Structure 1
Amino acid sequence: MNTPSSSTLPALLADTTRAGVRPLPIGSADRLLAAATQLGYCARSIDLGACADKAALLQRMADALSFPQWFGHNWDALADCLGDLSWVPAPGYVLLLRHAADLRNRQADDFGIALDILREASQAWAEQKVPFWAFLDLAAPGDGTGL
């Protein structure tokens, strides 16, 4: 995804046919959050830096999205919560997963499972005509690539 202008971001974020899991374009985090807020979306920035394992990843997701008490801290529970989100009702959802490259480099298997769950959640929300985006910061510190 190219870095869209601030004026086109709301239209892009509202498009359920394009929503999904995407690399975070370099320098776009603040504009994405602002556009999501403008649309009334639930927008969360989740820092995965120094996220050492699955337990830490699940806890950060739970904290950022205020998962309910019944959250079981496992992959199935993450999928259930991301597919529900009734405790944070919104016309759309935008997650910015900062430092996702750190988790990918340390825990490739867990990273892959988390991506699958995010993709499934996005597809399920799209069926309800609700955009669900997960933007992944995949830039290594100082490399400037974003991929």
Structure 2
Amino acid sequence: MADELAGRRVVALDLDGVTDKAGLRDRCARALELPDWFGRNRDAPADFLGDHTVWPEGAVEKGLLIVVRNWQPYAKARPEEWETAREVFAEAADRTSALSVALALGGSS
């Protein structure tokens, strides 16, 4: 589910109900529309973020903005896992100016 915002492809990554790493990986795979061959291993989100060939159409040229919503309950319940996920997002965004990741502070509405 990607929209365009100021020329960027915007993907909402909603973590509502995510309770563990497997759930996080599955939610990332669905939101980011990862191809089946990406699998669901622990490196899949980092691999995806670093592989522009599988980004949504137009994202490489226009940029990709991932908006992470409803992340606070997961971060509170699994702080070490969340820290790792946050680091993956931050490192990927540092590697390419085409990627931005925003943590939404409001609710889902």
TM-score, structure 1 as length reference: 0.62
2:51 to 69, 72, 84: 84
Q: What is the deviation of 1:138?
A: 4.1
Q: Which structure shows the higher strand fraction? A: 2
Give 1:102's aligned amino acid.
Answer: P
Structure 1 unaligned blocks of 5 or more: 1-32, 142-147
Q: Write the mapping of 1:96-111 to structure 2, written as runs, cut at 5 A.
A: 96-111=67-82
Partner SS state of residue 96, structure 2: helix
Q: Which has the higher helix share?
A: 2
Query: TM-score with structure 2 length normalisation?
Result: 0.81
Partner of 1:68: 35
Deviation string 1:41-78 (CA, Å, 9 cap, x unpaired) is: 22111111111111111111110111112223223222
| Displacement over 6 Å in runs of 4+ | none
Q: Specify the structure having the higher radius of gyration (Cα).
A: 1
| Structure 2 segments unaligned to the other structure (5+ residues) | none
Matched residues, number: 102
Identity %: 29
In structure 2, distance between residues paired with 1:138 and 1:37:
18
